[in-house]
């Protein structure tokens, strides 16, 4: 190990032997935790202000430190930061570079009373908070807005609603759009809740036992934009519940995205033809020139498994760790960063798909069949005082009769044939066979009538405000 103070490891004083080069690579996290450079520099700025408040560094030293940190940020921002082989992580790299800029005597004071245990998790919480505020929440809001906008504009389009992937009842295309806007709004609200829980400060907890110089942790928390401090130093350095929560959130969100994508994959097939994807979100076949593949949607569906794997892998790493900090916890970053990036990109792709797809109104409405109004036929008799369980059976007999006679639908039965099944049918029963009226009858909260859909959309928009 080098004796040069500019390149030695932060923990190197105890060790006299050389580190196995493979062990150095196995241990190093700079290749991925460099993403936290802004958070690390911001944390050091506020922490050194706390040290100056204690009188452990002078005002002049603080000015030089902050100058050096600003210079390092410029280098990272411009991608000109020169990494050293012994830069184990972002914290080591930044402190080493600070020493080169302002001198090692002053730079050596920035870590007074601080451990990488509280430093790295502070950086991670700041990074997560900023990622949620600057990327995920705005992107998710845009996706919801696109769904709501299309839902309002295309409310007159009817389509089959499905259960068991079988035609069930007519609905509005807007009702389908609103359903995923509802899922994603719940995801948005969950993410805001997680943001509140993760935005607490571990800084000043030291390695595990607390700060030896009585630093003002509330001052540090306020300076870094945290809502408060973690009240137990052991928990402060070892808690990764916020990482698990974020990856669970990502897994649940991607599950919703996957189901959304699966619906659209089906709707885009020639057999359905309900929608057409923009060329921007489709690819062709290397062999078959006629093909237009919904690769964007298939990737959305596939990457849900990737995010779930990130979460499952980290949970397996976390489950057997004793208190407090252990090196296993370094596994939090690669999986979390991958999950957050995958989710962000998935939101952006989904927004692009929804924004640019075209709806084939005629195809959707041509897929509506009269057997889908069998429940409406049962409701016709319910309105005449017949118990629903009886009307359900009667309506089923009507469907069977139409099939037996090889008719194209239950609307093709004559009034006499209906009366043979049940004498309570009257001539006005044929008014039942109207898809527009069918959807408009379902005007209770959450239904597929226009008024109900607009209420859904108004409610979603009010929640997002």
Check whether 353 has a pLDDT greater than 50: yes
By percentage, how much of the chain surpasses pLDDT 90? Answer: 88
pLDDT digits (tens, 9 = 90+) for 64-87: 999 999 999 999 999 999 999 889
DSSP 283: B
Same domain for 83 and 225? no
Last residue of one domain, picked from the residues 83, 112, 141: 112
Check whether 147 has a pLDDT greater than 80: yes
Last residue of one domain, picked from the residues 366, 387, 422: 366
pLDDT mean over 422-438:
95
Q: What does pTM read for this prediction?
A: 0.91
84 lies in some domain? yes
268 lies in some domain? yes
Check whether 396 has a pLDDT greater than 60: yes
Give me the pLDDT at residue 1, please: 34
CATH number at residue 102: 1.10.275.10
Count the domains in the chain. 3
DSSP 132: I
Same domain for 420 and 353? no
pLDDT mean over 249-269:
97
pLDDT digits (tens, 9 = 90+) for 331-348: 999 999 999 999 999 999
Give me the pLDDT at residue 3, please: 40
Same domain for 332 and 392? no
5 lies in some domain? no
Same domain for 420 and 334? no
pLDDT digits (tens, 9 = 90+) for 97-135: 999 999 999 999 999 999 999 999 999 999 999 999 999
Same domain for 268 and 412? no
449, 442 Cβ separation under 8 angstroms:
yes
Last residue of one domain, picked from the residues 112, 145, 168: 112
Active site residues: 164, 285
Torsion from C-alpha of 186, 140, 201, 96, nearest 10 degrees: 150
| Owning domain of residue 384 | 370-464
Q: Which two tokens stand for residue 14?
A: 């105890």
CATH number at residue 443: 1.10.40.30
By percentage, how much of the chain surpasses pLDDT 70? Answer: 94
Same domain for 411 and 320? no
């Amino acid at each position: 190990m080098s004796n040069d103070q500019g390149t030695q490891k932060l923990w190197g004083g105890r060790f006299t032997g050389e580190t196995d080069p493979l062990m150095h690579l196995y241990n190093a996290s700079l290749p991925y935790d460099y993403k936290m450079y802004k958070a690390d520099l911001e944390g050091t700025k506020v922490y050194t202000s706390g040290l100056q408040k204690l009188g452990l560094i002078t005002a002049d030293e603080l000015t030089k430190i902050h100058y050096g940190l600003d210079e390092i940020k410029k280098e990272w921002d411009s991608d000109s930061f020169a990494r050293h082989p012994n830069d184990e992580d972002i914290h080591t790299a930044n402190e080493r570079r600070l020493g080169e800029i302002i001198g090692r005597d002053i730079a050596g004071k920035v870590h007074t009373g601080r451990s990488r245990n509280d430093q790295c998790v502070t950086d991670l919480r700041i990074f997560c908070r900023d990622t949620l505020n600057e990327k995920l929440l705005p992107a998710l809001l845009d996706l919801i807005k696109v769904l709501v906008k299309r839902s309002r504009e295309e409310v007159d389009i009817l389509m089959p609603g499905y259960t068991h992937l079988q035609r069930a009842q007519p609905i509005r295309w807007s009702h389908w759009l609103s359903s995923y806007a509802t899922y994603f709004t719940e995801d948005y609200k969950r993410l805001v809740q997680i943001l509140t829980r993760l935005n607490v400060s571990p800084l000043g907890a030291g390695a595990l036992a607390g700060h030896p110089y009585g630093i003002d942790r509330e001052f540090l928390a306020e300076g870094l934009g945290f809502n408060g401090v973690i009240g137990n130093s052991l928990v402060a350095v070892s808690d990764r519940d916020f990482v698990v929560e974020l990856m669970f959130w990502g897994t649940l969100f991607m599950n919703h995205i996957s189901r959304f994508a699966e619906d659209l994959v089906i709707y885009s097939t020639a057999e359905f033809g309900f929608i057409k994807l923009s060329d921007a979100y489709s690819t062709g076949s290397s062999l078959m020139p006629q093909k237009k593949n919904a690769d964007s949607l298939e990737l959305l569906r596939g990457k849900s498994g990737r995010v779930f794997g990130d979460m499952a892998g980290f949970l397996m790493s976390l489950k057997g760790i004793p208190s407090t900090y252990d090196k296993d916890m370094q596994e939090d970053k690669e999986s979390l960063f991958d999950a957050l990036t995958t989710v962000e990109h998935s939101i952006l792709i989904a927004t692009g798909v929804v924004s640019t797809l075209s709806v084939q109104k005629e195809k959707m409405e041509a897929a509506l069949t009269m057997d889908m109004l069998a429940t409406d036929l049962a409701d016709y008799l319910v309105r005449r005082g017949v118990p629903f369980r009886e009307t359900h059976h009667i309506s089923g007999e009507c469907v069977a009769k139409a099939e037996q006679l090889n008719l194209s639908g239950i609307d093709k039965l004559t009034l006499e044939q209906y009366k043979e099944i049940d004498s309570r049918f009257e001539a006005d029963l044929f008014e039942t066979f109207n898809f527009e009226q069918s959807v408009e009858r379902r005007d209770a909260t959450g239904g597929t009538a226009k008024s109900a859909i607009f209420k859904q959309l108004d409610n979603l928009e009010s929640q997002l405000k």
